[in-house]
Amino acid sequence: MRLAGKAAIVTGAAGNIGLATARLFVKEGAKVLLVDRDEASLAAAMQELGSGQAEALAADVTKPADIERYAARAVERFGGIDIFFNNAGIEGPIAPIEDYPDDGFERVMAVNATGVFLGVKHVLPKMREWGSMIITSSIMGLRGGVRGIGYSASKHAVIGIMRAAAKHAGPRHIRVNTIHPGFVESAMFRRIVEENVKLGIDVPDEFYLKQVPFGTFVTPHEIAQTVLFLASDESRQVTGQTIAIDGGYLL
Ligand SMILES: NC(=O)c1ccc[n+]([C@@H]2O[C@H](COP(=O)([O-])OP(=O)(O)OC[C@H]3O[C@@H](n4cnc5c(N)ncnc54)[C@H](O)[C@@H]3O)[C@@H](O)[C@H]2O)c1
């Protein structure tokens, strides 16, 4: 029970990585507030996790009032917040830079960057000492994604947010780190592959895996295991770090 007695919020909790993490957090003894804008998938997640340690709350991470509502609810139900997995995100448009839609750029920045900032702004002050915030960036937060410039920009932006927040929260012994998942076998990755096919880039999985020294996809559970390490007391002195979970893609 690596998270016994801890209270956590997971955003994007109805998605592949969020749900795998919420599942692991519950198994390790945490109480978890699952936040997502997809109510149907949240309900399905609750069916699986049960209401003993978990609760779901539908919210949009781009709306400050929604964030205040879920942060207040976590304090009310659990008595405080120790872990914040600031994870909700969208892939946004997949298009060459010349054709990349202006409103699509704004949309992806609104969810992936502003949404993360708003989470930091409203949740961090409510977190207990020795807490941990984990922000989901991407390998595309550490290098350029040519057909996802908005996504790449947003995932770089959260590194700046993380560093500022880590410095600010240091005196309260709250650590803040970003994780950078690689090619995760997930609905999001499949959507990106489909969008590439529409652009005439129809390549087999091997094309992606050739860029990965390990030669395999990462699973959502493998992402969750690293998040668990960062959430647990085992990483007490780890803050301000960018941690890739990518089978060596960035090498
Ligand atoms: N899947 C991958 O290959 C991959 C790789 C690198 C990084 N990531 C990042 O991991 C995170 C989780 O992705 P995933 O693979 O689980 O994708 P997913 O699409 O399965 O899950 C994302 C979840 O976020 C929710 N969400 C989106 N916008 C929201 C909003 N405004 N308010 C509240 N909830 C919102 C969605 O409803 C969804 O349930 C994202 O930040 C994503 O960018 C994913």
pLDDT in tens, 3-13: 999 999 999 99
Phi-psi region of 50 (alpha: psi -120 to 50; beta: other; left: phi over 0): left
Ligand 1 near 15 CB (within 6 A): yes
Beta bridge pairs of residue 33: 9, 55
Digit-coded pLDDT (tens) for 63-111: 999 999 999 999 999 999 999 999 999 999 999 999 999 999 999 999 9
Locate the domains of the chain by residue range.
7-245
What values do phi and psi take at 243, rounded to 5?
A: -115, 110
Q: What's residue 143's pLDDT?
A: 96
Task: Give the closest residue (by CA) to ligand 1 atom 21.
Answer: 15
Tell me if the pTM is above 0.75: yes
Residue 31: pLDDT band by 50, 70, 90 thresholds? very high
Q: What's residue 158's pLDDT?
A: 99
The CATH architecture annotation of domain 7-245 reads 3-Layer(aba) Sandwich (3.40)
Q: What's residue 42's pLDDT?
A: 98
Q: What's residue 44's pLDDT?
A: 98
Q: What's residue 152's pLDDT?
A: 98
Digit-coded pLDDT (tens) for 145-192: 999 999 999 999 999 999 999 999 999 999 999 999 999 999 999 999
Ligand 1 near 86 CB (within 6 A): no
Q: What's residue 230's pLDDT?
A: 99
* Alpha carbon separation from 197 to 89, 94, 209, 233 (Å, rounded): 22, 10, 17, 43
Ligand 1 near 188 CB (within 6 A): yes
Q: What's residue 178's pLDDT?
A: 99
| Helix, strand or coil, per DSSP, at residue 64 | helix
